[in-house]
Structure 1
Amino acid sequence: MSKLKVLYKAKSPRPIEVDIIAIDGLNPEPQGAEQGNSGYPLINWLLEERILSSTRSSTLPRHLPARISKYTWEANKFVDDSDSWFDTEATIFLKKIRGMRQRTSTTKLPIIFVASCFGGLLLAKALVLAYGWHSSIAQRNTLDLTKGIIFLSTPFRAPIGIPAAQYRLIVKSLLGIKTTSDSLLRVFEVKPDDGDKLTNAFAEVASHRDIDISFFYASEKSGISNGARILWSDCRPAAEMALNMFGPVREAVLVSEYSACLGEERWPKLQLKVRHSQLTKFWEQQDEGFRPVSTLIMAMIDKHVPRPDPMDSLRTRLRLIVESLRFQDVNARFETIGAADEEAFAWLLPKNNRAVVPPSMADHARRLRDWLQPEQEANNVFWISGKPGSGKSTFMKVLVHCLGEWTPFIEDNGAILLHHFFFLLGQPTQRSRKGMLCTLLYQLLDHLLREGALDMVDQVLRGMPSPKPLQFHDWTEHDVENLLCEGLSLIGCRRRIYACIDALDEFDATKFGLDSILNLVTKLREIPGMRMIISSRPEKELQRYFEHVPGIPIQDVTATEIHSYAFDKLSPMLENKAELASTLANRMVSKAEGVFLWVTLVVTALLSDIEAGVTPEALQKALDSFPEDMAQLYQSIWTRQNHDNEKDRQEAAMYLRLLITADERFKNTPGLCFRYWLWQTDESDIPDEVIQDDSKRSTYRSELASGATKSKVWCY
């Protein structure tokens, strides 16, 4: 049963200025509750007015001047777009829209359609009918007032060489929507024309009309194994064609970019990183899938609906451009860094000058605070250095939070805080020059938009290329760099800007070399008002670059925490030996050089030795034997676990020596008689009685090594 349901409409006194009509697509049976990124159930925004109309949304105005409706139809019955049934469905669709608009005296409102999957085919069919010679005045009116269309992964075009009708039924079946065997056989046994009349007719209509059209395609793979099994039992030709199209796989992208997007250059082709079944399901307004769709809707409203406040239109236009700078996983590295104990770094940037600073940290705290003072102009770069695993990223994350709280105390007009965290193991954008540029420019412009400084954002973006970018991949590195430098120069003469750049050494220098990112740092630090806090490993080229800038070696900052951790772990196991625990902890601070991971591994190894009952002297020797290099440390721990190091061999030799001595002293004592033989690696020296009598073979065997010579001991 077809139904047009109103989900939301603008509340009085603001009038409805646009109709947003969402058209449902296929409706596969749910395979259990789908979960969003946060673990909460995904929400179908077509059913939840709070998603589109929320006052908390950053991309939609507080009072959306629209009526949002959803059209449901029996899409699961779709077989072929040339069927008379489909013509009837398209005609009913147009009548439902006309009826709603006539009843509410809103027949002159512009219309924006959002059509999902096969709902896009229904919309295309309806607009083709409205364009035809035999259409009614009401149908032509709907076409004339259609100002924008967003298609969500609609299977317009089939792969080359495959009829569109057959391709669409395969997509439908693999999504788990059953089609009767008779219908499948009718389409697959009587081969239709290779040409797709519906797609071609709609493309002609759209090209002759002033309609803003955007095509989205789902890029994530969908599970197809269940649908493939059903298709194989219902229609062998269809199953064989599906196998040729997608191969013998469990998951596939059912509607590719080619299939979902028509070819004209003026129509944007946009990606959604979701599965086909999640095209309209998002869990919040900031969802990476919902953001581009909602932003595009607002851009269409701004273009085609007269707005009473010109600033709203400007704000939305600027927001659309700024959002295109965001890329997938832009904050992933920052968010995955473990939550640090911020109290441990409270001395760093206290909210007031009365905070207690540990004596050992006083010099570092003073150095950083002095550098942050507005009157300090000697050097605008501060370097946090440290070995891998020393906690530089954790420290930088705490620093970002602290600066966000402390900057209002530094300057009356408030500083702007930017940050970028490189991540070598992440996506290419997370370790690239363009990724850093886009992150900093996005944060700068987003900050200004939230402050309401629209004129300043507009001034920065006047240098944009034409046509204006709508997605991240539309931006070139050169254009972003120019806009960022222009924006920083414009803002820097009015207020201070702090940029925290973490893990500079994780920049991917394989293509352009480390000089390319260092040259960018040099360019940014020359901008008036710019301050940069940069963390990296102390690699030679970076040491030379930062040689004359103030900074903090991270091992100095973490020394107190490392000592506390080691002492707290060891002291309970070393009862009444607090001095020994403190000595070991001090030694670890010296050897660790700030690498907290090194400390945790060594403490674990020492605890095992304590449980085994080793002496204090042996503990200190064991600690001294651990290499400071992480790779060598792992090898050392592995060797210890396999009992093949010098300390264990020495202990084994000592026990055997005691055994020999005991045999000499107590050989006449009943019950204390030991027999043993020592021989070199040549097994010809094994005593005959041991070789001949299996019962006398070893109950204990140990290998001793001294250089390349090994001795073997058999005892029974």
Structure 2
Amino acid sequence: MQKARVFILNSLSYESMAVRESRIVKAHHETFRWIFQPQGLPPSDLRSRIRYTDWLEFRSGVYWISGKAGSGKSTLMKFLCKHPETMRILQRWAGDARLVTLNFFFWSAGTKMQRSLQGLLQSLLYELLGEFPSLIPTICPQRWSKEDVFPSRCGPWDIEELSQAIRRVVNHTHATTKFCLFIDGLDEYDGDLSEFITFLNDLKALPTLKLCLSSRPLNIFEDSFGSASVTKLYLQDLTREDISSYTRDILQGRLELVSSAGCSTNIDKIVEEITKKAQGVFLWVFLVVRSLSSGLSNGDTDATLYRRLRSFPSDLEIFFEHMFQAVDPMYRQQSSCLFQVALKSSKPRSLMVYSFLMEDDPDFAINLMAGSYRAEEAFRIASRAQRQLNARTQGLLEPQHPVPRFMHRTVRDFLLLKNMQEMLANYASPGFNTNATLCRALLAEFKT
């Protein structure tokens, strides 16, 4: 019987299930604290009107976190779904019942499972059955009977079966358990949004379950979840103090490291200008602060730091174009290849694949002998590829090991703009074919 339970749980699991959450940056220690203590803020502060904790303790249905691109929605969702205060307040809502919290982070640049309803449902059901393993025979009776005797006879899960199983778990435990689901990035869902919202509303109707959702402010989400001010927030309107605290902390820390070199920059005015220009976009702040930190390390004077700051456009798309244009002209052909493969590949590819994309010989993969690279040689190639990616993508494609990824979803959106697609095509080598180029790199990876 235990073996059958393991088979059923394993049939729900997939490789990239927890990857997205693990890649979301952890909230800076000075940020988002206000969401748990809005009553301590003056009435003139917009944050004082946030009623997230009231929703946690007293309300059902949906709490919607809306924010424009790069405003920090995913970071906030990760902060909330793991925070002890969230659990403490939710337990008051649950009373004597058992509290179960689940989360899922959609990711448009990830695998199909990371951006689909199938992936969401399998992840949720996997977590639910992990919480209630004794219910598996009741929740999945047909699979249980087959898995118990013929484990190979069960086919893949379909949407209807997954949906029904989730509802059965919630209904079967309604007298003893309450559920709170945190689902991030609804706008990154790759499917029919109207049907998806119908599914979410069906979940919302379950009396012992509620949902904390986040997305960009698309009309369809505003219409569905934005009617009540007490159960929503617009993140970019609330993070001015967070941005100021983060900027001051990072730059002050860098300043202290370089103070022995005679740097005496007064960062107050820099912090004020960054906070004003940011317009609630934390991603923009991160990029600017990273550049200014580099400037401090280089011994930039105050005047140089201000020139550096004022050279950055406040619009993210223009900022990305600024970074893209900073690629050395010598590398632009390879840059085009790297970006086009990253955009069109069905899933994120390894650092080794990217290293092979930069090989000049088109017959390299065919001529490569199987098993050509020892472990230390493969490590050396991957390390070199990290440096090459940095130079050829200016950080828009982060050269992380083992799998490089776009710095942010907004980078992918930017590169898919018509003018950027035309620019990438113009920079590409004559006769460039994305699929053929990727196939050669995958063949080389296979041979290693």
For normalisation by structure 1, the TM-score amounts to 0.38
Query: Which residue is equivalent to 1:461?
Result: 140
In the alignment, is residue 508 of structure 1 matched against residue 190 of structure 2? yes
Q: Distance in 1 between matches of 2:251 and 2:219?
A: 36
Residues 504-557 of structure 1 deviation map (CA, whole Å, 9 limit, x = unaligned): 111112xxx222322211211121122101111223333333321422223355
Q: Distance in 2 between matches of 1:458 and 1:465?
A: 5
The AA in structure 2 aligned to 1:321 is I
Query: Which residue is equivalent to 1:432?
Result: 116
In the alignment, is residue 489 of structure 1 matched against residue 200 of structure 2? no
The AA in structure 2 aligned to 1:396 is M
Q: Distance in 2 between matches of 1:473 and 1:421?
A: 26
Q: Distance in 1 between matches of 2:26 and 2:265?
A: 33
Query: Which residue is equivalent to 1:137?
Result: none
Instruction: Give matches, 1:245-256, under 5 Å.
Output: none
Name which of 53, 60, 68 aligns with 1:369: 53
Residues 483-508 of structure 1 deviation map (CA, whole Å, 9 limit, x = unaligned): 21232233345432100001111111
The AA in structure 1 aligned to 2:317 is A
Name which of 301, 320, 327 aligns with 2:7: 320
Q: Distance in 2 between matches of 1:320 and 1:612?
A: 60
Against the structure 1 CA distance between its residues 609 and 318, is the aligned structure 2 distance closer, same or farther, given a 3 Å change threshold? Answer: closer
The AA in structure 2 aligned to 1:447 is E
Instruction: Give matches, 1:65-464, under 5 Å.
Output: 313=1, 316-341=3-28, 344-346=31-33, 348-349=35-36, 363=48, 367-373=51-57, 375-377=58-60, 380-402=61-83, 403-404=86-87, 406-410=89-93, 411-449=95-133, 454=134, 456-462=135-141
Could you say which structure has the higher helix fraction?
2
Q: Distance in 2 between matches of 1:381 and 1:404?
A: 17
The AA in structure 2 aligned to 1:407 is L
The AA in structure 1 aligned to 2:75 is T
Q: Distance in 2 between matches of 1:615 and 1:341?
A: 28
In the alignment, is residue 528 of structure 1 matched against residue 211 of structure 2? no
Contact 1:324 1:470 in 2 (8 A): no
Contact 1:415 1:497 in 2 (8 A): yes
The AA in structure 2 aligned to 1:628 is S
Against the structure 1 CA distance between its residues 361 and 445, is the aligned structure 2 distance closer, same or farther, given a 3 Å change threshold? Answer: farther
Query: Which residue is equivalent to 1:560?
Result: 241
Query: Which residue is equivalent to 1:592?
Result: 278
Cα drift, residue 628 of structure 1: 2.7
Specify the SS of the correspondent of 1:388.
coil
Name which of 207, 217, 242 aligns with 1:538: 217
Q: Distance in 1 between matches of 2:146 and 2:21?
A: 32
Cα drift, residue 582 of structure 1: 3.2
Consecutive unaligned residues of structure 2, counting only runs of 5 or more, are 329-448
Residues 137-176 of structure 1 deviation map (CA, whole Å, 9 limit, x = unaligned): xxxxxxxxxxxxxxxxxxxxxxxxxxxxxxxxxxxxxxxx
Specify the SS of the correspondent of 2:173.
helix
Q: Which has the higher contact order (CA 8 A, sep 6+)?
A: 2
Against the structure 1 CA distance between its residues 640 and 487, is the aligned structure 2 distance closer, same or farther, given a 3 Å change threshold? Answer: closer
Consecutive unaligned residues of structure 1, counting only runs of 5 or more, are 1-312, 643-716
Residues 344-381 of structure 1 deviation map (CA, whole Å, 9 limit, x = unaligned): 4455459xxxx9966668626x61110011x424xx11
Q: Distance in 2 between matches of 1:520 and 1:506?
A: 16
Against the structure 1 CA distance between its residues 563 and 481, is the aligned structure 2 distance closer, same or farther, given a 3 Å change threshold? Answer: same
Contact 1:386 1:392 in 2 (8 A): yes
Specify the SS of the correspondent of 1:417.
strand
Query: Which residue is equivalent to 1:629?
Result: 315
Cα drift, residue 470 of structure 1: 5.0
Q: Distance in 2 between matches of 1:473 and 1:425?
A: 28
Contact 2:136 2:144 in 1 (8 A): no
Against the structure 1 CA distance between its residues 322 and 423, is the aligned structure 2 distance closer, same or farther, given a 3 Å change threshold? Answer: same
How many residues are paired up?
309
Cα drift, residue 440 of structure 1: 1.1
Q: Distance in 2 between matches of 1:546 and 1:413?
A: 27
Residues 366-416 of structure 1 deviation map (CA, whole Å, 9 limit, x = unaligned): 61110011x424xx1111222333322222122121234553344222321
The AA in structure 1 aligned to 2:59 is Q
Residues 397-454 of structure 1 deviation map (CA, whole Å, 9 limit, x = unaligned): 22121234553344222321111111222221111111111111121221123xxxx3
Q: Distance in 1 between matches of 2:122 and 2:323?
A: 43
Against the structure 1 CA distance between its residues 585 and 429, is the aligned structure 2 distance closer, same or farther, given a 3 Å change threshold? Answer: same
Cα drift, residue 340 of structure 1: 3.7
CA RMSD of superposed structures (Å): 3.8
The AA in structure 2 aligned to 1:536 is S
Q: Distance in 2 between matches of 1:435 and 1:324?
A: 12
Contact 1:385 1:536 in 2 (8 A): yes
Against the structure 1 CA distance between its residues 544 and 586, is the aligned structure 2 distance closer, same or farther, given a 3 Å change threshold? Answer: farther
The AA in structure 1 aligned to 2:318 is Q
Query: Which residue is equivalent to 1:77?
Result: none
Cα drift, residue 316 of structure 1: 5.0
Contact 1:342 1:398 in 2 (8 A): no
The AA in structure 1 aligned to 2:56 is L
Contact 1:492 1:530 in 2 (8 A): no
Name which of 159, 165, 169 aligns with 1:477: 159
In the alignment, is residue 603 of structure 1 matched against residue 289 of structure 2? yes
Q: Distance in 2 between matches of 1:395 and 1:541?
A: 22
Q: Distance in 2 between matches of 1:428 and 1:638?
A: 27
Contact 1:385 1:537 in 2 (8 A): yes
For normalisation by structure 2, the TM-score amounts to 0.58
Against the structure 1 CA distance between its residues 457 and 563, is the aligned structure 2 distance closer, same or farther, given a 3 Å change threshold? Answer: same
Against the structure 1 CA distance between its residues 517 and 326, is the aligned structure 2 distance closer, same or farther, given a 3 Å change threshold? Answer: same
Residues 179-199 of structure 1 deviation map (CA, whole Å, 9 limit, x = unaligned): xxxxxxxxxxxxxxxxxxxxx
Q: Distance in 2 between matches of 1:576 and 1:491?
A: 62
Against the structure 1 CA distance between its residues 346 and 570, is the aligned structure 2 distance closer, same or farther, given a 3 Å change threshold? Answer: closer
Which one has a bigger Cα radius of gyration? Answer: 1
Against the structure 1 CA distance between its residues 564 and 316, is the aligned structure 2 distance closer, same or farther, given a 3 Å change threshold? Answer: same
Q: Distance in 2 between matches of 1:489 and 1:434?
A: 21
Could you say which structure has the higher strand fraction?
1
Specify the SS of the correspondent of 1:496.
strand
